[in-house]
C-alpha cells in the first residue's frame, strides 16, 4: 500500500498556470537563500509578502483550488486523520521555493513550531511542481517512520518531479529532497502546509 495519500496531475488549468507563472516572474528577484546543516534552498514567503491575499494570483488560485467544498470532501474521504481534519483547517501557509545546483533538504518532518507565541498545528504539507524545469535529482522521498534512526528498515517511496503535479502528505511524515544537479532550469515549487491556528 502506497504511503502517498494524495497526488493529482494537471492540477491547474492553462489560464491559472499562466497567471501563476506571470506572478512568479515578478517576484522571483525577491528569493532569499537559506542554507544550514541539512538544507539549502531559496524561498519567498507569500503570506508575508501579501498582507491582502486577494492581491496575489497564486494565493487566490491555490485557495480556490484547495478549499472549495468538492476538494474538502475529497480530502475527508481519504482514510487518514490529517486528511479527514482538512475541511476544518483554519490556517494555511504558502511559499515559493527554488532548488538549483547543490540545493537539497535532508530527512525532516514539518511539525516543529514556527512561531512560539502563536504556534500553528500542521496537518498536511503540499507541494506543487511548476513546469519548465531542467535538472537531475530533486526527487521527493517520503517515509512513515517518526524517527530518522529507524530509516534503515523503513518503507521509503521516491517521487520524481513532474510538471503541474500536486502532492499532499501528512506533516508528520519524514521526507527529504535529493540534491539538485546539472541544473539548467531550477526546481520551482509552490508549497506549504495546512493546519490550525492555536
Render pLDDT for 160-185 as a digit per residue (tens, 0 to 9): 999 999 999 988 888 999 999 999 99
Neighbours of 179 (CB within 10 A): 17
Res. 86: pLDDT tops 80: yes
Minimal CA–CA distance to 183: which of 146, 147, 132, 143?
A: 132
pLDDT tens-digit map of 9-56: 999 999 999 999 999 999 999 999 999 999 999 999 999 999 898 999
Pairing of strands 104-108, 39-45: antiparallel
Nearest to 168 by CA among 119, 113, 125: 125
C-alpha cell at 87: 475541511
Q: In this structure, what C-alpha cell is assigned to residue 100?
A: 538549483
Match 502563536 to its residue by C-alpha cell.
118
Residue 39 Cα to chain centre, angstroms? 15
User: Alpha-carbon Rg of the chain, whole angstroms?
Assistant: 16
> Please, where are the H alpha helices in the chain?
14-27, 46-49, 57-66, 69-76, 81-84
pTM of this prediction exceeds 0.75: yes
Which of the two residues, 166 and 149, has the higher pLDDT score?
166
CA 155-99-102 angle, to 5 degrees, is 85
Asked if 6 and 78 count as a contact pair (C-beta separation under 8 A), the reply is: yes
C-alpha cell at 44: 519567498
- Domains defined along the chain, listed by start: 6-196 (2.60.120.620)
Amino acid at each position: 500500500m502506497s504511503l502517498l495519500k494524495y497526488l493529482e496531475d494537471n492540477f491547474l488549468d492553462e489560464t491559472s498556470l499562466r497567471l501563476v507563472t506571470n506572478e512568479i516572474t515578478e517576484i522571483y528577484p525577491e528569493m532569499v537563500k537559506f542554507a544550514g546543516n541539512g538544507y539549502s534552498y531559496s524561498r519567498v514567503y507569500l503570506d508575508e509578502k501579501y498582507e491582502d491575499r486577494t492581491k496575489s494570483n497564486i494565493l487566490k488560485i491555490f485557495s480556490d483550488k484547495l478549499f472549495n467544498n468538492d476538494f474538502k470532501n475529497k480530502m475527508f474521504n481519504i482514510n487518514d486523520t490529517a486528511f479527514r481534519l482538512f475541511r476544518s483547517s483554519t490556517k494555511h501557509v504558502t511559499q515559493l521555493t527554488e532548488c538549483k545546483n547543490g540545493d537539497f533538504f535532508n530527512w525532516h518532518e514539518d511539525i516543529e513550531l514556527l512561531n512560539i507565541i502563536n504556534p500553528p498545528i500542521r496537518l498536511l504539507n503540499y507541494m506543487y511542481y511548476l513546469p519548465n524545469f531542467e535538472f537531475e535529482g530533486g526527487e521527493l522521498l517520503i517515509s512513515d517512520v517518526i524517527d530518522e534512526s529507524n530509516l534503515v528498515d523503513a518503507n521509503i517511496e521516491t517521487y520524481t518531479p513532474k510538471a503541474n503535479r500536486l502532492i499532499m502528505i501528512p506533516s508528520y511524515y519524514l521526507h527529504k529532497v535529493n540534491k539538485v544537479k546539472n541544473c539548467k532550469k531550477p526546481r520551482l515549487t509552490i508549497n506549504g502546509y495546512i493546519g490550525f491556528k492555536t
